Every structure is written in C-alpha cells, then in structure tokens.
C-alpha cells in the first residue's frame, strides 16, 4: 500500500508530564495596564492553564479525532500525515472532485475539520448531493505528524509534496486546492506548477506577484503596501524571531506548555475576527486541542522551518488556473487591492470580501466558506 492508517496515540506518561509542568507554571506580570496590548494577557493565560491542567479532557478529544480517517504516506522518504474523507455520492452521480485543504501557521489540520462534513455530505446542510467533494486534509511538512523534507522547506517543495500525495499516492488525476496563510501560498504554487492537474485554487489570503515590475504601482496598491509595512512594525516580531533565532525560542516553547500556549494564543486572538474577545470565536477545548497536538507531537520547532528557509524560495510563476478568493478581515488583508492579485493570477473567477472571518476562517466561518468553496468549484464543471 502507498499509505496506511494512522492513529493519534498520546501516552499516559506524556499527559502526566504535561499536567505536572502546567502545575509548576511561573506566570509573569502584564507589561502595562492594557490587557493583550503587549502579547498574551497573563490573567487570561492563568485561566487557560488552569483549565488545561484540571478540566480539559484530552482523551475525549483524541477519540473524536481518531473517529476520522487518518493516514500516513512516505513521500520522498519522509512521513506525511493526512485525512481523507470520501464524498457521499448519489448513485449515478459523477465522481466528486477531490479537494485538498491546507492549513497555515500556527494552525493544524484541526482548522479544516468544520469544513469536512459540509463538503463531503452537503445534504446534511441543505445542499445538493451532487455537490459533494472528496476531501483531503494534510498536515503540512514540519507540522505535527508530517516530517520535514531533506532539503530546504520552500513553498514549492511543500507544493511538490502535496501534489505527490494527491496524484502518486491517492491516484487523483485532477483536483482542486484551498488554503490560507502558508497553506494558501502553497495552494498558489500548486496552481502555478501543475495547471494540467489542478482544476482551480481558492484562497483567503490573496497572493503577491513574483515581481511588481510589470507596471507602476497604483495609488491603491501603494497605500496597501505602506499600510502592510506599518502593521509589520507592530506584529512582525514573532516571524523575525522564528526566522532568525528559531532554536532559541523553540527550546523555551518545547519545554514550557504554558509558554507554548501563550505563543500560539497570541496569534489566534490577534489574527481572527473576534473584536477583542478570543473565546467568541474559539472555545477553550478547540484552542487546547490544537495546542496539545503541538505539545505532544513536539513539532513547534519544525513548524518554524518554513520561516528559516524563506530565503530559499524562488519567484513563483504566474498562476494560470481559475482562481477564487474569499478575503480575510485580518489586518494584513485589510483593503487588499484586487489588482495586486491580478498581477499574480491571470484568471480570477471569484472575488469576495464578506466582511467577517479572519486568519482561521475555516474555524471561524465554516458555513460561509463551505458555500464559497462549493460555488466556485462546482462552477468549473466538467472538471
């Protein structure tokens, strides 16, 4: 077999050690009088750590995750973890389009789970049975249970791995691709590298072109680029650290579960559409499921590799396959001009700015996003 079943199986010893570490957490004081302004609020972190240690039921969440069909494959000699959920197809209906959903950082396959049932069995949600998809959700290389490749972890290398998963391992001749953040950039590379096999791409973070040299910047483009640079001055510290001193911060996060929680939760609050109330978008069990997966897999350090290897990325070719965008509301996407995306994509079929849903849109707005994905990809028939 080209792939085999996989189960998440965290030992009692690992869980006992986790609880012991949580019980010994040393908390800092807030830097100033404004909660969250300087990072994860210590008061919130205290409550989250207490809940993690005393109330959160990992075994229940582990059983829920293992009820899904997990697999592993060897690609380029390295393990790749993924879920594969076939679409519910009526008798006589055409085969569902395979659709790969790729997460970003600091995320995981868990982000895509609210989409899976909506896309594989749309009749449960009032949709048409012929609109079902076969859904594949990988852990990107370096994340959780997928190993790093032997060479630099570039966006093109990740796209090559995912394409091999879809074609060589799973045997699909043609498929669609969706992603956000890093997974969105990889999705763009899939469309650019494999236009004969990729039916179309859908992203929540529109792409930049390989170069802006083809024509002068418009006022809207210049305003956006200036605003993004200004935002990076206040938000870019995390990526600067992970791209230049990854082993230093990874040593702290791999040793302290509270530190790991603080590092991840900061971004879930800052980048999602929550208006300052983190748990209006993510309940604690969901947050702690993701954080526990990072802790028990020991993958926080390897998840930084795509930042470390960023300079190894080559310019991406133009994206010529049909493209669709449901634009995130997070600060880095605010007022994103469609004309920037048009420099990168030659065939934009759908552009939506719904005004809700942020960096983790599959978790935040699954109904909205499943509808957008269905509308776009079914419009490409015949595949």
- Give the sign of the dihedral formed by CA 199, CA 131, CA 137, CA 358: positive
Active-site residue, from 41, 163, 307, 309: 307
Q: Is 247 a catalytic residue?
A: no
Sheet bearing 175-179, strands edge to edge: 3-5, 70-75, 78-85, 133-138, 97-102, 175-179, 198-203, 323-326, 348-352
Whether residue 359 lies in the annotated active site: yes
Check: CB of residue 311 under 8 Å from CB of residue 153. no
DSSP state of 144: T
Is 307 labeled as catalytic in the residue annotation?
yes
> For strand 70-75 and strand 3-5, is the pairing parallel, antiparallel, or unpaired?
antiparallel
Q: Please say whether the beta carbons of 190 and 160 come within 8 A.
A: no
- Alpha carbon distances (Å) from 86 to 98, 177, 198, 238, 269: 8, 16, 18, 38, 33
Please tell me whether the peptide bond between 382 and the residue prior to it is cis, using omega within 30 degrees of 0.
yes
Q: Are residues 108 and 122 in contact, defined by beta-carbon separation less than 8 angstroms? A: no
Q: 70, 81, 163, 359: which is the annotated catalytic residue? A: 359
Catalytic residue among 134, 181, 270, 273: 181
Which amino acids are annotated catalytic? 181, 307, 359
């Amino acid at each position: 077999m080209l792939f085999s079943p996989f189960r998440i199986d965290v030992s009692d010893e690992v869980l006992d050690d986790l609880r012991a570490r949580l019980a010994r957490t040393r908390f800092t004081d807030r830097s100033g009088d404004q909660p969250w302004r300087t990072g994860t609020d210590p008061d919130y972190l205290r409550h989250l750590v207490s809940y993690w240690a005393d109330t959160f039921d990992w075994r229940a969440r582990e059983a829920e995750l293992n009820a899904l069909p997990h697999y592993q494959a060897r690609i380029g000699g390295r393990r790749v973890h993924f879920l594969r959920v076939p679409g519910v197809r009526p008798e006589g209906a055409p085969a569902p389009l395979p659709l790969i959903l790729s997460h970003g950082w600091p995320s995981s396959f868990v982000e895509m789970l609210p989409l899976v049932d909506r896309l594989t069995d749309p009749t449960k949600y009032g949709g048409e049975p012929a609109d079902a998809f076969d859904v594949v959700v990988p852990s990107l290389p370096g994340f959780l249970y997928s190993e790093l490749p032997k060479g630099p972890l570039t966006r093109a290398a990740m796209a090559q791995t995912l394409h091999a998963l879809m074609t060589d391992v799973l045997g699909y001749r043609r498929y669609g691709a969706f992603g956000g953040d890093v997974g969105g950039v990889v999705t763009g590379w899939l469309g650019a590298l494999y236009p004969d096999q990729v039916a179309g791409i859908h992203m929540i973070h529109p792409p930049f072109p390989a170069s802006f040299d083809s024509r002068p910047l418009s006022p809207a483009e210049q305003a956006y680029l200036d605003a993004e640079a200004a935002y990076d001055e206040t938000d870019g510290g995390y990526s600067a650290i992970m791209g230049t001193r990854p082993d230093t911060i990874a040593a702290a996060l791999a040793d302290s579960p509270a530190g790991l929680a603080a590092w991840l939760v900061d971004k879930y609050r800052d980048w999602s559409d929550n208006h300052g109330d983190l748990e209006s978008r993510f309940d604690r069990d969901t947050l702690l499921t993701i954080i526990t997966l990072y802790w028990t897999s020991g993958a926080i350090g390897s998840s930084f590799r795509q930042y470390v290897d960023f300079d190894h990325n080559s310019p991406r070719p133009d994206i010529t396959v049909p493209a669709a965008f449901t634009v995130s509301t997070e600060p880095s996407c605010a007022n994103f001009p469609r004309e920037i995306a048009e420099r990168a994509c030659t065939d934009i079929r759908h552009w939506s700015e719904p005004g809700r849903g942020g960096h983790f849109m599959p978790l935040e707005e699954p109904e909205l996003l499943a509808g957008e994905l269905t509308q776009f990809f079914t419009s490409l028939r015949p595949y």
